[in-house]
Amino acid sequence: MKLKSSAYILYSTVAAVMSFSMAACMEGDWDTPDMTTPPYGNNAIVETDSQLVTIDSLKQRYKSAISTSSMEKIEDHMQLKAVITGNDLGSNIYKQICIQDSTGAMIVGINGTGLFPMLPVGQEILIDLKDLYIGGYGQQAQLGDEYNGSIGRMSTDKWEQHVRILPNFNTSAIDTIDFDVNLDKDRYAGYLVCLTNVQVGDADGKTTFAPEYKSGTTLTYNGSSNGYVHHTLGTASMNQLVLRTSTYAKFAELVIPTHPITIYGIATRYRDTWQILIRTEEDIKDNE
């Protein structure tokens, strides 16, 4: 069953309130505002079959820029239709959304916060790719803009000019794959994955997913960097696979269970290392 987008639901609520207010407060011949389209994104983008590409074909076309952690401007008229699999709701994904289709997955860098109300998980979107940049950050495929010669985030204004919110919204349609460290990183980096009955390496009944953030302090904790904490998972080594958690994540101060748990998350890469990003506390499933 296909559900209406939360963005559409939110907009409909606002529209109803506005319509009531105008009816109560205004007299005379006033034009009724158009309340038929959502107030986010660019509704002038028209889906064009001849311009549609898949994530896999896009990554193959710009494979050199992605694999060398450089970037390239997309000059041709192309469109990408994909489903959002991750956003900043849980504050562990920052100024990014994660998207995938049936062929692959990637990251979209957006220089803004509070993205999740209009870009919820399960929302289908159409992206006008022309004049965006594509490249690799640690070989993780990313759409965005040029930043100091590397792939970076695009402004929120630019993003809204290049995205259309489609009416399809269905979280159950998201393809989740079972994680394995031997998965092809070129194809699966950015995918929503499941790690079943996995042991977090340093769980001792006291250790949390990340320590409390304290302004002005330097975080030196378990192979961490730039406010993120890395935990080992299962029998994998730190340079193969880590659970990556921000000190700002809303679930950061949860104590890690000492028994095996099931984890859902976005499997990103930094060069040859898999980095699992839990999206919200709901991605942590207790097996006991």
Sign of CA dihedral 240, 195, 188, 122: negative
- Domain positions in the chain are 49-173, 177-286
Q: Which pLDDT does position 38 carry in this prediction?
A: 63
Look up the pTM and report it: 0.85
Q: Which pLDDT does position 20 carry in this prediction?
A: 40
Q: Which pLDDT does position 239 carry in this prediction?
A: 95
Question: How many other CB atoms are found less than 10 A from the CB of residue 60?
Answer: 15
CATH entry 2.40.50.140 includes domain 49-173: yes
Q: Which pLDDT does position 23 carry in this prediction?
A: 43
Q: How far is Cα 230 from Cα 242, in angstroms, rounded to an integer?
A: 6
Q: Which pLDDT does position 24 carry in this prediction?
A: 42
Q: How far is Cα 117 from Cα 73, in angstroms, rounded to an integer?
A: 29
Q: Which pLDDT does position 227 carry in this prediction?
A: 85
**Bridge partners of residue 265, in order along the sequence:** 193
Q: Which pLDDT does position 19 carry in this prediction?
A: 40
pLDDT values of the chain reduced to their tens digit, one per residue, 288 residues: 344 455 544 444 444 433 444 344 444 444 554 545 667 999 999 999 999 999 999 999 999 999 999 999 999 999 999 999 999 999 999 999 999 999 999 999 999 999 999 999 999 999 999 999 999 999 999 999 999 999 999 999 999 999 999 999 988 879 999 999 999 999 999 999 999 999 999 899 999 999 866 554 455 445 555 689 999 999 999 999 999 999 999 999 999 999 999 999 999 999 999 999 999 999 999 986
Give DSSP secondary structure letters for the chain: -PBPPHHHHHHHHHHHHHHHHHHHH--SS-PPP--SS-SSS-TT----GGGEE-HHHHHHHTHHHHHTT-EEE--S--EEEEEEEE-STTSSS-SEEEEE-SS-EEEEEBS-S--TTTS-TTEEEEEE-TT-EEEEETTEEEEEEEETTEEEPBPHHHHHHHEEEEEEE-GGGS--EE--TTS-HHHHTTEEEEEEEE-BTT--SS-BSSPPP-TTPPP-SSS-BTTEEEEEBTT--TTTEEEEEETT-TTTTSBPPSS-EEEEEEEEEETTEEEEE--SGGGEEE--
